Structure 1
């Protein structure tokens, strides 16, 4: 192949992958489910509940936002300056494939240490408001495990990219894009059995009427669920939650022990119906497909930005900085898709249970218990909100109830 064709190839491939990514997002994301009225927090939350949520966020957000800013700025400041290459040279490790893991893990550790104080202050706020129950030892242990897991993932990515670039100076991006897509697929499949047990213990729900009801609900929904797992979330939090992860043989329906203990059976049933909606729509697989295309596109972008310089291990810090830029810039799109997916699962739970009143009450109860943000700022909504706000979810429940001839009145008398 001519040199000109080799230069054009990543541009063409990038355009094709980007087009495929846009098509998948546009065609598979549920953009409209039901006409929803404008959310009104005051209709369903008392002044005291709204004030408490606002106080909580006013105390928490300065610390959590500062921590997020530092987690972005530290790798950017190192990667986009000569400091990144100097740090590699300071290691004085002759073998690049030994130096790169040390540098990646070291930069991750540095970022964790820089954000440690602000994260600790944020954790203290959640303790003051009764959300966190974990000991400081467990909190530090979780941070250490998270650092190890992230380091392992980034080391694998850096070593793979550099090795391919050193072997094929011009065409390294092609096998790297394929490998990146396969890696995302593998991680999504293995996450429930490799990562989740590092943070929680899981046990099958004890036999009884509630477990039988959940399995029966799954059968009625046409969702193959062999078991319902209970996570020991109470050792870390008082928040109520449930989730679905994995796909195929690793798919699992997990409920927090706090949910089973503190929510009413009807509310738990609605939460489970929501998670069954994710399973019925193969939402994890849908997200994985977007992730595989996104990973392939990211590798092509790295080729266009770094070219043959990808083979230089002294630019490892720059690679990490570019990863941070990519994940930060893609967050609004990821959250937009996630919010629509979550809204579809809410809609699914309403159709499955036909209980708009309990749905609205449940969303209110979860929000009060979890001190969820009712009206986040626009920039925080786009950057961090993976779920609709509680007033948005309540508005959907109320709209669905009205469509079914079962309107739900405001929960707060004015």
Structure 2
């Protein structure tokens, strides 16, 4: 059996393993019947959400299409290969520099092309009061995000091309194992490395709310080390909270906007939902699914990069040629887009289970209903978006579905 067939067979086996994990670990429950598609929002609130979405959604879709188009032009023509070669020429043009600088250049080009649409999206968020960022802070966030993305992607590409040069027949197996390992490492490192790059965190001062949140975590069977406040109001008026970290780094994080906008009972309902993800090991499930998906994806990449016509189209000689970088980035972007509805379908099921955990833990469906409506109003979410949009992009149940679930809940 040749290397390409082994890669394809491995991708198929890992794909089957992924399906088994999804079947076993995900609570595939039916969505509750929605009798009120407004979710209890007023006509003015519905109109405002519709207007916001109407202004932002076309730009979001255009941004997505433009990013994929640019990646395709650079990856499926010699243009990307020429760029990779050109940016490394001042430093001697060695393969390491071509991979590192080429990846950074391609990432920056993609970000610059979509920058006008991103800026328009920020204008819309300012117009509707959802964003509070100054333009210098917005530019700083874009630069930091681009730098982190470019740096991590460049290191990943260096690993992939280096393995392909050293082990031309089995590189995809080693790279797949490395990708799976990076997914696991990222789950541990994200709270302590990435989050602080965008927000500052301070302990929630001693108060009844802090005591109640710590007690709630104990009752949930997921004790936390601290309750932190994120300075989200520097950027947004949106409301959110989450639980991050593992073991000694696990903490409840609440946006400072929550503390000024919501009563304690509703903050506790949100925290109980987030604790539900911990209680049912959703982070472990997500990490396992991500690791299997990464391994299967790299094995499939090994099969694709064995195609001579595809490599010729990209202007590369093989997986160990630095000029293959634009093609790899395009294939990853296309795979990410194709897998989006699957990822979001899984996410909706996990979020629905966390909602049930919150209701069981707090025994307060009224507070849950109220906070779901408040979140929809504050974040300008449509309570019942178009079905196609929800299927593809919806990572949570709709507001109408969550309110219906609270109304159907029984202790």
1:58 to 54, 58, 66: 54
Contact 1:202 1:230 in 2 (8 A): yes
* 1:374 partner SS: coil
More displaced stretch, 305-314 vs 142-151 = 305-314
**Secondary structure of 2:397's aligned partner:** coil
Distance 1:89 1:152 in 2: 18
Contact 2:84–2:101 (CA under 8 A) maintained in structure 1: no
How big is the shift at 1:249? Answer: 3.7
Q: 1:54 to 1:27 in 2, by over 3 A?
A: same
Where does residue 152 of structure 1 map in the other structure? 151
Q: Distance in 2 between matches of 1:324 and 1:236?
A: 28
TM-score by length of 1: 0.93
Equivalent residue, structure 1, for 2:160 = 161
Assess, with a 3 A threshold, how the Cα gap between structure 1 residues 72 and 8 changes in structure 2: closer, same or farther. closer
CA distance in 2 between counterparts of 1:327 and 1:85 reads 22
**Contact between 2:4 and 2:303, CA under 8 Å: does it hold in 1?**
no
Maintained 8 Å contact 1:126/1:132: yes
Q: Where do residues 81-160 of structure 1 align in structure 2 (5 Å cutoff)?
A: 81-91=77-87, 92=89, 93-160=92-159
- Find the counterpart in structure 2 of residue 38 from structure 1: 34
Say which is worse superposed, 305-314 or 212-221, in terms of deviation: 305-314
CA distance in 2, matches of 1:43, 1:140: 36
Deviates more, 1:222-231 or 1:303-312: 303-312
| Map of 1:251 onto structure 2 | 250
**How has the CA–CA distance of structure 1 residues 39 and 100 changed in structure 2, closer, same or farther, with 3 Å as cutoff?**
farther
Shift of 1:378: 3.1
Structure 2 CA distance for partners of 1:80 and 1:210, relative to 1, 3 Å: same
- Give the alignment of 1:3-402 within 5 angstroms: 4=1, 6-32=3-29, 36-42=32-38, 44-91=40-87, 92=89, 93-307=92-306, 309-400=318-409
Query: CA–CA distance in 1 between the matches of 2:35 and 2:73?
Result: 41
Q: Report the TM-score, using the length of structure 2 for normalisation.
A: 0.93
Change (3 A) 1:314 1:347: same
Specify every segment of 5 or more residues in structure 2 that has no aligned partner in the other structure, as ranges.
307-316
Q: Secondary structure at the match of 1:59?
A: helix
Q: How far is 1:42 from its partner? A: 3.1
Deviations 1:10-52 (A, max 9, x none): 23322211111110111111111x7722252335111111111
Task: Provide structure 1 residue ranges, at least 5 long, that are not aligned to the other structure.
Answer: 405-414
Does the 8 Å contact 1:192/1:252 carry over to 2? no
When structure 1 is superposed on structure 2, of 13-22 and 162-171 the one drifting more is 13-22
Cα distance between partner residues in 2 of 1:295 and 1:233: 31
- CA deviation digits over 1:229-279, x for unaligned, max 9? 110001001111001223344333211010111101111110111111111
Contact 2:344 2:392 in 1 (8 A): yes
CA distance in 2, matches of 1:250, 1:166: 39
8 Å CA contact retained: 2:222, 2:279? yes
Q: How many residues align?
A: 398
Whole-Å Cα distance in 1 between the matches of residues 9 and 359 of structure 2? 44
Q: 1:86 to 1:134 in 2, by over 3 A?
A: same
After superposition, the Cα gap between the structure-2 partners of 1:219 and 1:132, relative to the gap in structure 1 and judged at 3 Å, is same
Please give the secondary structure, in 1, of the residue aligned with 2:319.
helix
How far does residue 89 in structure 1 lie from its aligned partner after superposition?
A: 3.0
Deviates more, 1:315-324 or 1:239-248: 239-248
Classify the secondary structure of the residue corresponding to 1:41: coil
Q: Secondary structure at the match of 1:203?
A: strand
